[in-house]
Structure 1
Amino acid sequence: MRKKYKIIDLFAGVGGIRLGFQNAFQSNAEFVFSSEIDKFSKITYECNYGEVPNGDITQIEASEIPSFDILLAGFPCQPFSNAGLKKGFDDTRGTLFFDIVRIVKFHKPKVLFLENVKGFRNHDKGNTFKVVQETLEELGYKVYADVLNAKYFGVPQNRERIYIIAFLDNEINFEFPSALNQEVKLGDILENKVNDKYTISDKLWAGHQRRKLEHKKKGNGFGYSIFTEESAYTSTISARYYKDGSEILIKQEDKNPRKLSPREAGRLQGFPDSFKIPVSDTQAYRQFGNSVAVPVIEALAKNILKEID
């Protein structure tokens, strides 16, 4: 009988990191606690996992959280104040990383899995990352960090994220997963028939083209991006995709380009079609844009399981 690992899911969103760990650990994972502040994300989480996440983590005592082995957190990138004054842990006060640390201090889990934007590594001249690393090392963890791109893990999206993985057992030599040699293209995740409401209006399309031209005159490459079924990958989907969809538009014959449907946005992040979307399109785009590329998480989780099992 293999060991069951108790896991907590912080800043859970719609549970993308959880899904990757569930896929990798199968019956070896037991989720004992989750937390998320956004009410619409909580609706999607409950609909898919049968539990309502707890609310604001800053209001929850570490002692109220059941004991656990693995902490998951896709936490926001915030600067640490007084940076450079070498206060270590106290530098983190007032940030959400502080809440991760106080929970880790109390529970001393075996593994920490943290995800953040690629720019986190150089944020505040590299200081933000340094404080995180040194704080975790002070707590006795061996820290690994690397940037992985989703396009090498079976989804047609150019999405780079930093993964910080820390082990209480200092004997562990963790290796980041290498790229899966899986050829994918955008057509693999597109639906056969998509409602016309996702085709952008003449007015919006004219605006996109006008702004693109203005950017071009200034000599920068900003503006909309158009992709076809044959495209190897799209640009990064973000939480603001619901606004105008300009970062990922799909070419259509004899029509204006269209946005991805919410289901396609989910697929672009590696969510299966069985993942339920109980919210409005606007919220669905925000939720998937804020989430993670599930197959990257799964590959990382498999390597973690190898080390601790």
Structure 2
Amino acid sequence: MPAQICYLIYESGMIKNKHMVTSVYAQQLELFQLFESANVISFQSKFTFIDLFAGIGGFRIPLQELGGICLGYSEIDKEAIKVYQNNFIRYANVEEAYLGDITNLNKLPFEIDLLVGGVPCQPWSIAGKLQGLDDPRGKLWIDVFRVVKANQPKAFIFENVKGLTEPRNRKSLEYILNNLTACGYVVKYQVLNSYDFGLPQDRDRIFIVGIRNNLEKCWAFTFPNSLDKQLKLYDVIAGIQHSNFAKKKFPPEILFFDGKIPGSRGRFQKIDELNDFFTFADIRDGHTTIHSWDLIETTLREKFICQTILRNRRKKIYGLKDGNPLEFEVLQALIPSLQMEEINTLVAKEILRLIESKGYEFINSKISSGINGISKIFLPHAEAIGTLTATGTRDFVATISIECKEPEAYKQTFIQEIYVKKNYKPLTAKDYARLQGFPETFKIAESESTAKHQFGNAVSVPVVYHLAKALLKIIFIG
């Protein structure tokens, strides 16, 4: 039974014990081990909330689980509204206001305890061209300030991309924090990662929390700690192999060229282990990087030419660009006895291309584009997939795992057993939903691409659950 129905039944008096209501939904989430029934708390007096920039309800699901009653929601995306209403509104006659566009909101006709919302994040993302407060979507924060000041909720939670915390956006973040503080709140922020709250997704988001400064314990709030339990991809994504391979440790001189550990390695790239994913790109290197010359027939000489270009293309002596086209004369100096015919062959094989008056560069020069439509393939036992986005990714998941004890053989085993045999699959919208912590009962958009877009835009359900749980204890329990 969906949790939303449970709350309506509770309100009608058919269920007298509210703990029965809150436990039903927790049981639905046991598949992901995100929330255990013992951890679900009910507050003596149910709290109310408004769902701003509601999307498809990533905030609403955990807040209702914690006993919240939604008094109204604001959203302008028609497709998102359809999904939101299909999951939360159309079960019965619910006395709940559709608030429309936040730009038209001011004082609401009812008091609220909590204001939440995922304020549009594109102004601080690379995809959104980093225009910040100069972007019309960035200016929506001004509407947020107005609604907060006019309604004075006990607290608020706002979510945005991690990019808002980066040095180039420092003034924008300070502007937001200062204005929220001026509305009469003690304001704190922190970047939280979905992986730390039970999801196998590497997703960093900033959460801005405010508590009205006339409340007794307004300074007492602290952000929740990471959970002890983490899942792997095979725990969430259906149709892929479960495996428990013991990982072998390697010294840096074996794993890295010249033994130098790259400074750009991410959280899930261990410095003494082989990666649990393979990146398809001609501009990086390593035991888990797949190059175009690995996937088509090339000679050892051709591979050597490509590797030489790869290792020299970023050197400042050839230009200031992060990856410079190299002239034929430069290549001749780097590669003994190089002939133009050899370069022309690599151009014909669509590995290199000539940039007029600049030189030769790799065709597959963007990690986001990958090779042959593939950016990354994650193994089933990977700890986390990359951040899901509204614009989509070219990430895939292998349907089988591989175990390889020697680094030099790891790539070839992957190519032969997974890539060549097509033992991998794209992520579905249902996979997106699970990776964001949405329950199995959630009704997604009919269009696969629309659903992916919506889940990529959504907030991770368990992150909000544990964050709101910590906040509500301060406000209502103390």
Query: Following the alignment from structure 1 to structure 2, what is the Cα–Cα distance between the partners of residues 102 and 238?
Result: 29
Q: Which runs of 5+ in 1 are unaligned?
A: 82-91, 194-208
Is the alpha carbon distance of 1:157 and 1:94 closer, same or farther for their aligned partners in structure 2, counting shifts above 3 Å?
closer
- The one of 114, 120, 138 equivalent to 1:76 is 120
Structure 1 segment 64-143 matched on structure 2, within 5 A = 64=108, 66-77=110-121, 78=123, 79-80=132-133, 95-122=139-166, 124-143=168-187
Structure 1 segment 17-56 matched on structure 2, within 5 A = 17-23=59-65, 25-26=66-67, 29-50=68-89, 53-56=98-101
Q: Secondary structure at the match of 2:426?
A: coil
Query: Following the alignment from structure 1 to structure 2, what is the Cα–Cα distance between the partners of residues 73 and 63?
Result: 17
Q: Match for 2:239: what amino acid?
A: N
Larger displacement relative to structure 2 (166-175 or 6-15): 166-175
Query: Following the alignment from structure 2 to structure 1, what is the Cα–Cα distance between the partners of residues 232 and 426?
Result: 17
Q: Match for 1:144: what amino acid?
A: K
Query: Following the alignment from structure 2 to structure 1, what is the Cα–Cα distance between the partners of residues 209 and 144?
Result: 13
Q: Which runs of 5+ in 2 are unaligned?
A: 1-42, 91-96, 124-131, 241-277, 286-309, 315-364, 400-417
Give the conservation status (yes or no) of the 8 Å contact 2:53–2:74: yes
Residue 255 of structure 2 is matched in structure 1 by none
Give the conservation status (yes or no) of the 8 Å contact 1:73–1:114: yes
Residue 212 of structure 1 is matched in structure 2 by 281
Residue 181 of structure 1 is matched in structure 2 by 228
* TM-score normalised by length of structure 1: 0.82
Structure 1 segment 154-303 matched on structure 2, within 5 A = 154-169=198-213, 171-172=217-218, 173-192=220-239, 212-213=281-282, 217=310, 222=367, 223=370, 224-241=375-392, 245-246=393-394, 248-252=395-399, 253=418, 254-255=421-422, 257-303=424-470
Give the conservation status (yes or no) of the 8 Å contact 1:271–1:294: yes
Report Cα offsets for 1:210-264 as digits up to 9, x if no partner.
97225664668823111121011100000011xxx41x21124522632111111
Residue 145 of structure 1 is matched in structure 2 by 189
Give the conservation status (yes or no) of the 8 Å contact 1:142–1:167: yes
Is the alpha carbon distance of 1:53 and 1:157 closer, same or farther for their aligned partners in structure 2, counting shifts above 3 Å?
farther
Give the conservation status (yes or no) of the 8 Å contact 1:123–1:129: no
Query: Following the alignment from structure 1 to structure 2, what is the Cα–Cα distance between the partners of residues 104 and 159?
Result: 27
Q: Match for 1:56: what amino acid?
A: D
Give the conservation status (yes or no) of the 8 Å contact 2:378–2:396: yes
Query: Following the alignment from structure 1 to structure 2, what is the Cα–Cα distance between the partners of residues 279 and 68?
Result: 33
Higher relative contact order (CA 8 A, sep 6+): 1
Is the alpha carbon distance of 1:234 and 1:142 closer, same or farther for their aligned partners in structure 2, counting shifts above 3 Å?
same
Report Cα offsets for 1:239-298 as digits up to 9, x if no partner.
011xxx41x211245226321111111000011111111330010000000001111110
Report Cα offsets for 1:37-66 as digits up to 9, x if no partner.
1111111101110168443221x2313553
Residue 11 of structure 1 is matched in structure 2 by 53
Name which one, 1 or 2, has greater alpha-carbon Rg.
Answer: 2
Query: Following the alignment from structure 1 to structure 2, what is the Cα–Cα distance between the partners of residues 225 and 239?
Result: 17
Is the alpha carbon distance of 1:182 and 1:101 closer, same or farther for their aligned partners in structure 2, counting shifts above 3 Å?
same
Give the conservation status (yes or no) of the 8 Å contact 1:75–1:96: yes
Runs of 4+ aligned structure 1 residues displaced above 6 Å come to none
Report Cα offsets for 1:120-161 as digits up to 9, x if no partner.
112644011101111111111001110111111110000000
* TM-score normalised by length of structure 2: 0.54
Query: Following the alignment from structure 2 to structure 1, what is the Cα–Cα distance between the partners of residues 382 and 196?
Result: 14
Give the drift of 1:2.
1.6
Query: Following the alignment from structure 2 to structure 1, what is the Cα–Cα distance between the partners of residues 105 and 184?
Result: 22
Query: Following the alignment from structure 1 to structure 2, what is the Cα–Cα distance between the partners of residues 93 and 278?
Result: 24
Larger displacement relative to structure 2 (248-257 or 69-78): 248-257
Q: RMSD of the alignment, in Å?
A: 2.5
Query: Following the alignment from structure 2 to structure 1, what is the Cα–Cα distance between the partners of residues 48 and 232?
Result: 36
